[in-house]
Structure 1
Amino acid sequence: MERSGVSRRALGALALGSAAMGLSGCEGGHETDLKPRSRQFPKDFVWGVATAAFQTEGSQAVDGRGPSVWDLFEKVPGHVKDKSDATVATDSYRRFQEDVDLIAGAGLSAYRFSISWSRVMPTGGRTVNAAGLDHYSKLVDALLAKGISPYATLFHWDLPQGLQDKGGWANRDTALRFADYAHAVVDKLGDRLKNYIILNEAAVHAVFGHVLGEHAPGLKDINLLGKVVHHMNLGQGLAMRALRAAQGDLQVGTTMALQPCRPAGGLFWNRLAADGLDALWNKAWLDPLFKGTYPKDMDDLLKGVIQDGDLKTVRQPVDFLGVNYYAPAYVRLDLSSPSKIAPANPPRGAELDAFGRHIDPSGLFETLDRVRREYGAPRMMVTENGCSDPFGSGPAILDDQFRITYLRRHLEAVLAAREAGCDVRGYFEWTLIDNFEWDLGYTSKFGLVAMDRKTGVRTPKASYSWFKALAGNGLLPA
């Protein structure tokens, strides 16, 4: 398959190739549904939407912002499917008040956004750009004025290019600079910004950015993987310490792209491959955080990387774990591959989303319940879940009943997980407005709101009204 068949959400392709790309919507047979006993969410359940700075802000050269790895990556021919870029995106740097009004108009209680590291520290060094922080200060104030709780992600893949020039996450020093950045953010915003998500989907950034070359920084060197994984975990621990040292009343968590890893055809020899993928994709992030260890499968990759005291730093208490879920991964044993792992197709007849991934709400239940059983039952939030229109350059589908069906079915899985004892406190739909979807450009549309790229006009879809009603009374329609 061509490179564009894989994206940051085509997780079934993880290690070693592209996922099959389908052109369906998000609706089909419902063989993987769960039926909770109750359809009522608690009154204090957090309802929100999630976004990322690079995908929405635009204004890349405004107010002292420095370049990020994605600024360079998007300009290389062939890297973005529709040859577009994020120089405007949804123009949310300038139009953030309109975004806030849309969130408030939907009656949502929370907004998950990310802070651009290179706006705050343009080269990644210790010099702080006051103008960049002022923007986020205004955004936080605008949210609080509408009664919306801000949840800020500190790193959503847009590493300052100045740090990448020095080795990026493969360089241990980047973990130290990340702690400096966290301190700068909390020093300016900590009196009002109380909810912090440290890393977004570190597994995606590590693998797609450093092994497959599908994402920025566009590297294809498996020898970097152990360093990148550990230094991101280390940076997370250092950042958590910096935040808590500066302010005692914060809610600090992190967000992981978790997925069941399933052997193709249920065959026992493919279980070896599935276990290998699980170690890299799930356990290499969960185990250090909650247990202070790495899975044995990571030993060779991490040889000579971990220093004394690192695992104590990495293992930090979290107030919540963010879970991003889209689909399970199917893998098979491939003896011709250096890793012995290869992607496999979903089961025959499975309903597929626009990425060719299995639409399986039971996988969300499986993921949440696994965290409960194996990692001490932490408080959790679903920090991303959603589906795209079929890929294409045309206008968004405004009567998006397929999205409503998708969200309803996955929220049934959340209710079922809560009934099984999972402490799930919130759900953030991905995303607010159709935005720049990384290597897919604008061909993928996940928003509750459409945007005319020529005029910037935002138009709520049917799913926006549906989500508003749900957030209003917490009762999931049948």
Structure 2
Amino acid sequence: MKTYQLPQDSRLSQPDFVFGVATSSYQIEGAAKEGGRTPSIWDTFCALPGAVHNGENGDIACDHYHLWKQDIEMIHGLGVDAYRLSIAWPRIFPHEGELNPQGLNFYQNIIDECHAKGMKVYVTLYHWDLPQYLQDRGGWLNRETAYKFAEYAEVVSAHFGDQIDVYTTLNEPFVASFLGYRWGIHAPGIKGEREGLLAAHHMLLGHGLAMPLLRRNAPKSQHGIVFNASPSYPLSEKDQAAADYSEAEGYHWFMDPVLKGEYPALVLERQASNLPMILDGDLAIIHAPVDYVGINYYTRHVCCFDENGDIKNVEQSQAEHTFIGWEVYPQGLTDLLVRIHQRYTNMPPMLITENGSAGDDCVIDGEVNDEQRTRYFQSHLLAVDEAIRQGVNVTGYFAWSLMDNFEWAYGYEQRFGIVHVDYQTQKRTLKQSAIAYRNMLLERAEENK
């Protein structure tokens, strides 16, 4: 029987350690023009020639909008404690100031179904699908969007309150701001150093403005934010400064304001000519207390300086890589968690809110033998266990992703799911990685009876 093995006396084996699966709205829902939804920046971006692999989009995706009930049943069958999803902002406010009851009802049904099956609900308010009408006024380059996000967060939390067990304001502000507004790889496709840093500041401001509203409306829930992070290593001893800066810009720039109330000096110095306008009081707002910090981890960086003094990542050609080209490096997850734990005093509990790998998966005789992904999860679960043994407070782990889905600029080429999706028929097939996950959780449940 395929299952993941956890060390004896592992914190991960305890009944209060939360195991879950994760998705996001634009990646799985489809029904782009149904239920009152209006376009997001991703609908617009996908229509740009060459923006997304094969010109693909999320119009149908996994059709979760129509298949949500069977999907929740499938999630429950995995034996997880929780389901992490995101709410599509354009379903809640399809037009400026216009609340959409159909959107609220869609998520209400999912929340109710999860709770009826004994699963907790973790909701991300912003997983990158900004309403296009806000982008038309500048999107995250416009300070007003931070306040619009706070209004949206207030309405959602006022409606659902403590029915949502755990709220996340933003998912991966690094990706949303830098890939979207600095490098143009993601929606809305804007390129500019100054723009990327400005968008990042406004996203963090939106997070800070939302936090007291969430606490007031859902006092029994937990509230926090999710960062993607990769530890950086020097290619040689002389490249330590390159690795240090890579981490400073890659995740300290986003975590420091939330957890320390300041931006990292390394980035302030190197980007002095591109810094955003930071008004008095902004950092105090961003520094609002959080109940947890979510960490999304996939791989590491190995860095050096090039001939121009710029920092570049060096591919480790001898290492194992996933289908997307990312190095498999579980030790990086242990190192990352320990580094974060050491950097921030009074660090709240951490959750691994995403961890997973992409594969070129196909169904053969009714099965998907995703052997690499199964090894990936096993090694990374052990990496989390090791970080906990070194004193890091990690309280949960969410596999990314529940099922194959629209993988942003990669379209449907990359499959991150532990469940295979046939996009023609929408048939779901549990991969070997999902079966091992389920078996581990069933064993844990038996042991904890």
Q: Please classify the TM superposition score into its range, dividing by the shorter chain length.
A: over 0.9
Match of residue 411 from structure 1:
381
TM-fit CA distance, 1:303: 4.1
Verify the 8 A CA contact 1:255 1:383 in the aligned structure 2.
yes
Cα distance change, pair 395–127 in 1 and its aligned pair in 2 (3 A): farther
Residues in 2 aligned to 1:191 and 1:295: alpha-carbon distance in whole angstroms: 35
Matches within 5 A, 1:298-313: 298-299=267-268, 300=272, 303=275, 305-313=277-285
Match of residue 335 from structure 2:
366
Residues in 1 aligned to 2:196 and 2:364: alpha-carbon distance in whole angstroms: 38
Deviation digits for residues 24-49 of structure 1 (CA, Å, limit 9, x no counterpart):
xxxxxxxxxxx967456211111100
TM-fit CA distance, 1:187: 1.2
Q: Which runs of 5+ in 1 are unaligned?
A: 1-34
Residues in 2 aligned to 1:183 and 1:387: alpha-carbon distance in whole angstroms: 34
Verify the 8 A CA contact 2:86 2:123 in the aligned structure 1.
yes
Match of residue 25 from structure 2:
53
Which secondary structure state, in structure 2, belongs to the residue aligned with residue 205 of structure 1? helix
2:360 is aligned with 1:390 = yes
Which secondary structure state, in structure 1, belongs to the residue aligned with residue 59 of structure 2? coil
Cα distance change, pair 446–357 in 1 and its aligned pair in 2 (3 A): same
Which secondary structure state, in structure 2, belongs to the residue aligned with residue 199 of structure 1? strand
Verify the 8 A CA contact 1:152 1:197 in the aligned structure 2.
yes
2:192 is aligned with 1:221 = yes
Deviation digits for residues 398-425 of structure 1 (CA, Å, limit 9, x no counterpart):
0112211110000000111111111111
Match of residue 284 from structure 1:
253
Residues in 1 aligned to 2:295 and 2:365: alpha-carbon distance in whole angstroms: 30
Match of residue 14 from structure 1:
none
Deviation digits for residues 331-368 of structure 1 (CA, Å, limit 9, x no counterpart):
2213437xx2223212x422112222221111000111
Matches within 5 A, 1:80-119: 80-119=52-91
Which deviates the most, 349-358 or 232-241? 349-358
Q: 2:204 aligns with which of 230, 233, 236?
A: 233
Cα distance change, pair 167–392 in 1 and its aligned pair in 2 (3 A): farther
2:405 is aligned with 1:429 = no
TM-fit CA distance, 1:83: 2.4
TM-fit CA distance, 1:281: 1.1
Residues in 1 aligned to 2:88 and 2:340: alpha-carbon distance in whole angstroms: 29
Residues in 2 aligned to 1:119 and 1:427: alpha-carbon distance in whole angstroms: 28
Match of residue 25 from structure 1:
none
Residues in 1 aligned to 2:397 and 2:114: alpha-carbon distance in whole angstroms: 18
Matches within 5 A, 1:186-265: 186-263=157-234, 265=235
Verify the 8 A CA contact 1:120 1:133 in the aligned structure 2.
yes
2:49 is aligned with 1:65 = no
The residue type equivalent to 1:369 in the other structure is V
Residues in 2 aligned to 1:43 and 1:36: alpha-carbon distance in whole angstroms: 15
TM-fit CA distance, 1:308: 1.1
Residues in 1 aligned to 2:158 and 2:351: alpha-carbon distance in whole angstroms: 26
TM-fit CA distance, 1:325: 0.2
Cα distance change, pair 301–59 in 1 and its aligned pair in 2 (3 A): farther
Cα distance change, pair 160–143 in 1 and its aligned pair in 2 (3 A): same
TM-fit CA distance, 1:273: 2.5
2:303 is aligned with 1:334 = no
2:441 is aligned with 1:471 = yes
Cα distance change, pair 146–301 in 1 and its aligned pair in 2 (3 A): farther
Q: 1:158 aligns with which of 129, 136, 160?
A: 129
Match of residue 3 from structure 2:
none
Which secondary structure state, in structure 1, belongs to the residue aligned with residue 65 of structure 2? coil
Residues in 2 aligned to 1:395 and 1:79: alpha-carbon distance in whole angstroms: 35
Match of residue 293 from structure 1:
262
Verify the 8 A CA contact 2:367 2:429 in the aligned structure 1.
no
Cα distance change, pair 63–154 in 1 and its aligned pair in 2 (3 A): same
Match of residue 13 from structure 2:
41
Match of residue 319 from structure 1:
291
Verify the 8 A CA contact 1:396 1:445 in the aligned structure 2.
no
Which secondary structure state, in structure 2, belongs to the residue aligned with residue 450 of structure 1? strand
Which secondary structure state, in structure 2, belongs to the residue aligned with residue 85 of structure 1? coil
The residue type equivalent to 1:388 in the other structure is A
Residues in 1 aligned to 2:219 and 2:365: alpha-carbon distance in whole angstroms: 47
Residues in 2 aligned to 1:395 and 1:291: alpha-carbon distance in whole angstroms: 53
TM-fit CA distance, 1:288: 0.5
Which secondary structure state, in structure 2, belongs to the residue aligned with residue 255 of structure 1? strand
Query: Across the two proteins, how many residue pairs are aligned to each other?
Result: 436
Match of residue 409 from structure 2:
439
TM-fit CA distance, 1:304: 5.6
The residue type equivalent to 2:83 in the other structure is Y
Identical pairs, percent? 38
TM-fit CA distance, 1:256: 0.4
Residues in 1 aligned to 2:382 and 2:368: alpha-carbon distance in whole angstroms: 24
TM-fit CA distance, 1:197: 0.9
Cα distance change, pair 51–421 in 1 and its aligned pair in 2 (3 A): same
Q: Which has the higher contact order (CA 8 A, sep 6+)?
A: 1
The residue type equivalent to 2:267 in the other structure is M
Residues in 2 aligned to 1:394 and 1:280: alpha-carbon distance in whole angstroms: 43
Which secondary structure state, in structure 1, belongs to the residue aligned with residue 79 of structure 2? coil
Match of residue 27 from structure 1:
none
Q: 1:355 aligns with which of 324, 331, 345?
A: 324
The residue type equivalent to 1:47 in the other structure is F
Residues in 2 aligned to 1:165 and 1:397: alpha-carbon distance in whole angstroms: 46
Which secondary structure state, in structure 2, belongs to the residue aligned with residue 308 of structure 1? coil
Which deviates the most, 409-418 or 188-197? 188-197
Residues in 2 aligned to 1:122 and 1:103: alpha-carbon distance in whole angstroms: 29
